[in-house]
Amino acid sequence: MKSSTLIKVASQSILKNKMRTLLTMLGIVIGVGAVIVMVAIGQGAQSQIQDQINNLGTNMIVITPGSSNQGGVNRGAQSYNRLTAKDAEKIKRESLVVSAVSPVVFSRTQVIGGQGNWRTTINGVSTDYQIIRNWDLKYGRFFDQAEQRQMRRIAVLGHTVWENLYPGQDPVGQSVQIRNVPVVIVGVLEKKGQTANGTDQDDVIFAPYTTVQTRLSGWSRIFQILASTPSTRDIPEAQAELTAIMREAHGLSRWEEDDFTVRNQNDLAEAAQGTTQIMTWLLAAIASISLLVGGIGIMNIMLVSVTERTREIGIRMAIGARGRDVLTQFLVESIVMSVLGGMIGVGIGFISSNVLGQVTGWNTVVSPTTIMIALGFSAAVGIFFGFYPARKASSLNPIDALRYE
Amino acid sequence: MDGQQDFVMRTRGLRKTYVMGKTKVHALQGVDFTVHRGEMIAIVGASGSGKSTLMNIIGCLDYPTGGTYQLDGVQVESMGRNKLADIRNQKIGFVFQGFNLLARTSALENVELPLLYDRSGRKMKIRDKAREALERVGLGDRTNHEPNELSGGQQQRVAIARALVSSPAILLADEPTGNLDSQTSVEVMALFQELHRQGMTILVVTHEKDVAQCAERIIELRDGRIIRNELVRDRRDAALDPVPANPVLQQPAGRA
């Protein structure tokens, strides 16, 4: 039998029993729909986290102070801060792999200017910071090397600060008061949004770290050093190099532990990705149980159908159908049914994940791969659960089948 | 006299034994008969005489326990299931008592069915052949009707068209008038006779005397053996079967 004829014959017998076919397909429809929605939620979360991580900066390496261990009492991470701006400068001078380095020093304070006042964080960074964070400007410019060296009283406003102090206007050239020191605004940054844990990244003012250390906060310690490499491939090498430079800068002997920690953005990203990946699989696994139940429904109906159509099978065999023809016919029927159900399920899954995304505000992603896998899976269900009934049909004795009432 | 081309089928010592627990039922106990090309034969016998078993074996639906069976030049008794299916498809046209048409399927599609399973590789226009077969049985205007929209006689004629469509070597009819009233029975038997006149080889299993009288030769079975094999009507062009000892010529018509 030609395959086109086979599909025609299968569709005919499926159409002869519309209501039953519909109900049987419903199991597959719900199963596939559930898988699509669940995977969409999982992948949505995954892509959201990926976005947030990329948002932090590309190929970023973070050096933070290490823990202090005095007399066997470990006081935990960052308890013993020996990072200085000199470390960052040394890295800038000596590193061959790292393309940008910036020390970071924070100070939280009240700022007065424009429409009123606002409590925010002053971040002392270097000119490289803009490169590391891959952050565009809305107005004006970032400060340059010379201004950094000269400890100029200048600042770049984060989007949130700008919105609160100078809504809708270009504040470049105006000045704000930070701890009673007038600071001239040279630029405003574009909006960056929230971090993965909900902190507003735009509620910040950037100034040269030199200025912050000497004129605004007076602290010589810095809280972290950020660095970045031109490509992701360079990160392992850069990490090793930075560790070596830092150990040298802190004069650590061979048996002393690092008094700092070097981490990279990708470690963070992978950890987060790993978690959501597991989540996605878990959701998909739960949803596939309904697909399994749908498959059993198909098997059930196909078995009933084989019994009901015993006479038809007998007729087909009497006029020359081989066992294989009958097997294929019933197998194609269950596959057509499950694939059709799968397609409807994909449609419903697609629509409901979009609706769910709209209603809950979650990010949902239905990828072509998901659709292909879902369709493939439903076809596999059709074959798997259709085989036994089809086998049963094909092994009928034509004489008994013809006599069946 | 007994050349290869001369006969469509021949059985020699055909036996069939059913084993039911400890008892053995000998349904056929050595059946020899020959069907010549173009003959119309009736097989008669009381129920339990073995005619259904014989029909199943002749129809290649079942295997004999012993003996040989040659159909259209092919030795059939030891063929595999798949080959047998192909033989049924190519060489045999079945007509059943209960019509056995596919429900909710048009007459045309029912007639097409055997051609869908054709593996001979011969090229043909399935739809045209099916329509042609329906016209041959006088149902050219009923092609799109489904079985439940047709009368019993019409349904049986669709079944005959389905049996004819693959141009088989022999037409096997199992109680073809069993589900029909007497008037329709006459019509259906007239159709068989018409086909017979056109050269079709036809074998009818029946227990109705009138139906048997339409045939040229009557083979009677009892307890799995042929007890009568006689020519009941003259046939100009066919050689006589060697088995009958005393062919008796009888008056065919007007006895109903």
Say which CATH number the domain at B137 has. 3.40.50.300
pLDDT at res. A186: 93
Which chain B residue has the Cα nearest residue A15?
B104
Residue B54 placed within a domain: yes
Residue B244 placed within a domain: no
Average pLDDT over residues B131-143: 93
Look at the block and give the residue holding tokens 């062919």.
B247
- Interface with chain B: mutation pick from A319, A329, A404, highest number of B CBs within 10 Å: A319
Give the residues across from A113 on adjacent strands. A116
Residue B236 placed within a domain: no
Q: How many domains does chain B have?
A: 1
Q: Are A336 and A21 in contact (CB under 8 A)?
A: no
Residue B79 placed within a domain: yes
pLDDT at res. A338: 92
CA dihedral (B176, B178, B180, B186) positive or negative: positive
Q: Which residues on chain A are in Cβ contact (under 8 Å) with B85?
A: 317, 320-323
Residue B248 placed within a domain: no
Residue B186 placed within a domain: yes
Domain of residue B165, residue span: 4-231
Q: Which residues on chain B are in Cβ contact (under 8 Å) with A317?
A: 61, 85, 88
What pLDDT, in 10s, does the model give residues A244-261? 998 888 888 888 888 888
Q: Which helix (H) or strand (E) holds A127?
A: none
Residue B254 placed within a domain: no
Q: Which residues on chain A are in Cβ contact (under 8 Å) with B91?
A: none
Asked if the interface predicted TM-score (ipTM) of this complex is over 0.95, the answer is no
pLDDT at res. A270: 75
Task: Flag whether residue B96 sits within 8 Å of chain A, measured between CB atoms.
Answer: yes
CA dist., res. A3 & res. A7, Å (int): 6
Q: Would you place residue A67 in the very low, low, confident or very high pLDDT band (cuts 50, 70, 90)?
A: low
**Closest Cα of chain B to A13: distance in Å?**
9
Q: Which helix (H) or strand (E) holds A67?
A: none
Average pLDDT over residues A18-44: 89
Task: Flag whether residue B147 sits within 8 Å of chain A, measured between CB atoms.
Answer: no
The 3-class secondary structure across A71-104, one letter per residue, is: CCEECCCCCCCCCEHHHHHHHHHHCCCCCEEEEE
Spatial CA neighbour of B168 closest among B248, B54, B91, B66: B91
Average pLDDT over residues A373-382: 90
**Inter-chain residue contact A318 with B90, CB threshold 8 Å:** no
| pTM for this model (two decimals) | 0.71
pLDDT at res. A76: 56
Residue B144 placed within a domain: yes
pLDDT at res. B5: 57
Tokens representing residue B71 in the block = 């159909």
How many contacts, defined by CB atoms under 8 Å, are there between A and B? 60
pLDDT at res. B68: 93
Q: Which residues on chain A are in Cβ contact (under 8 Å) with B113?
A: 315-316, 319
Provide residues of A within 8 Å CB-CB of chain B: 1, 5, 9, 12, 16, 311-312, 314-325, 398-399, 402
Question: A213-227, A302-316, B7-21: which range is least confident on average?
Answer: A213-227
Average pLDDT over residues B31-40: 92
**Sequence ranges of the domains in chain A:** 3-52+270-403, 83-258
Average pLDDT over residues B222-248: 63
